[in-house]
Amino acid sequence: MGKSWSSSGVDVHLDWDPDTGRAGLAEALRLAIRAGRLPRGAMLPSTRALAADLGIARGTVTRVYTDLAAEGYLRTRQGAPTTVATAATAATSPPSVPPAAPKQSAPRWSLLPGQPNLSMFPRGEWLSATRRVLQHAPSSMFGYLEERGVEQLRHALARYLTRSRGVVAEPERIVVCGGYSHAISLLCTTLRELGESSIAFEDPSLWVFRDLAAAAGLGVDPVAVDDDGLVVSELDSSAVVVTPAHQYPLGVTLAPHRRADLARWARDRDAVVIEDDYDGEFRFDRRPIGAVQALAPEHIVYAGTASKTLAPGLRLGWLVLPSGLVEPVRAVLARSGWRAPVLQQLVLADLLESGAYDRHVRRCRASYRRRRDQLLARLPPQLSPRGISAGVQLLLMLPESGPDEQAVLAAAHRHSLALQPLGPHWIGNQQRGAGILVGYATPAEHAFGPTVRALLDTLTDAGL
């Protein structure tokens, strides 16, 4: 997949495959200069910034810059930015082999929801925690451990969730999972084995998780969402998945009376509620609202992950289970053969206990709030987000008079921008509103401005 970056007002798409390493990156920069995408005098990012954006070692970028300077492509000076030293050539060098069939290029810019700013991943803190773990963890920690996860992480999570999210959490009731997708699949399989035939989902909701429930053998029952969140009075299943802190994708929060109704419904029906707290740490207009789980901990499963706070690639999530579900879930997990990597569990435990995790969350919260404010200030007046000021994405509802979602997506394609429509989130064929989800946390820090410009150009192109 091609890599993109932006510096000093120059937006550049690098046709660089990370698998080609340093030589491939150097050749991609040569081609960008020859083709004129990097004009003479253009400033390149610092070695630190480009390394962070591309996810490679800073030393690799330094060696590439040094080699290209020796070849005459770049000019480097102590204390000054690296700049392009040569002009574009008439044509790039012909390929040495016949070109393969053209592939559809990936969008240059992305505002797809559900992902944090990966360039903010706390590499230094993660490295320091890894060193501490490797220095002090006994060798026995790296053997075969129990299915629920490393004890140190379960204790650290219990303290963190109790303090930050108001969860009734005991280490014995916590199970470490491979992210939320793994967690929902695990829970649905367990519920099916316990005799459940269906599970309710908010309508709209993310279709990926509904598909996982269906794959586990459960029917999917839609339940409406209004401005107060899930309409509890319409529940007719014995299990339901909810996003009460920040409903996905509509962005509303479950009102206090609905929270009480949901807990009462779960107790009266002896039902199971799965609370997906996917971005509860990121509330901007007030302190984050506490988890619903505390209202009925013997009936509500609390599910959280590090996917939005750290990175989805870590594949680390957790469940705080009612006592009656601990053994059934553990048994399903044992049969699957899956275990979370021990080292990553220990490193996360260290970050939680040292306070580094809290500091990182605070930095992200400030950054995402700033991005959201900047985006709202530049949107056309006829577009306003639905929902509370929170999370890593917002929903822009489209006017009934148009354009429709497909027209906006077509315009986004013309501007090389990835967006996600609201339509697929509705259950069934009947859509009750058109919109576009904007994941403002997704771009790297220096690419945020160009990505917003691509969005504004897309909206103008679509007639908004």
111 domain residue, yes or no: no
Residue 447's pLDDT is 94
Residues 215 and 322 placed together within one structural domain of the fold:
yes
281 domain residue, yes or no: yes
CB 383: neighbour CB atoms within 10 A?
16
68 domain residue, yes or no: yes
* pLDDT level of residue 79 (50, 70, 90 thresholds): confident
Residues 243 and 316 placed together within one structural domain of the fold:
yes
CATH number for 57 = 1.10.10.10
351 domain residue, yes or no: yes
Look-up of token digits 């379960």 = 154
What is the distance of C-alpha 49 from the center of its chain?
Answer: 21
Residue 104's pLDDT is 65
Residues 169 and 282 placed together within one structural domain of the fold:
yes
**Domains of the chain: total:** 3
CATH number for 282 = 3.40.640.10
Q: Which two tokens stand for residue 276?
A: 């997906």
Q: Are 292 and 275 in contact (CB under 8 A)?
A: yes
Residue 289's pLDDT is 83
**pTM score, whole prediction:** 0.78
More confident residue, 427 or 21: 427
For the CA atoms of 284, 288, 292, 298, the dihedral, rounded to the nearest 10 degrees, stands at 140
Residues 178 and 312 placed together within one structural domain of the fold:
yes
Residues 290 and 392 placed together within one structural domain of the fold:
no
Contacts of 46 (CB under 8 A, 6+ apart): 81, 82
Residue 236's pLDDT is 93
Say what percent of the chain tops pLDDT 90.
69
Residues 282 and 312 placed together within one structural domain of the fold:
yes
Residue 102's pLDDT is 53
Residues 335 and 375 placed together within one structural domain of the fold:
no
115 domain residue, yes or no: no
* pLDDT level of residue 134 (50, 70, 90 thresholds): very high
CATH number for 388 = 3.90.1150.10
Residues 326 and 440 placed together within one structural domain of the fold:
no
Select from 49, 54, 66 the least CA-distant residue to 18: 54
Residues 300 and 203 placed together within one structural domain of the fold:
yes
Residues 167 and 285 placed together within one structural domain of the fold:
yes
* pLDDT level of residue 6 (50, 70, 90 thresholds): very low
Q: How far is CA 47 from CA 11, 21, 312, 398, 446, in A?
A: 17, 15, 25, 41, 13
406 domain residue, yes or no: yes
113 domain residue, yes or no: no
Q: Is the pLDDT of residue 350 over 80?
A: yes
Q: Which domain holds residue 18?
A: 3-106
Residue ending a domain, choose from 333, 357, 381: 357
Residues 450 and 337 placed together within one structural domain of the fold:
no
Residues 37 and 68 placed together within one structural domain of the fold:
yes
Mean pLDDT of 154-159: 97
Residue ending a domain, choose from 310, 340, 357: 357
Residue ending a domain, choose from 322, 357, 392: 357
112 domain residue, yes or no: no
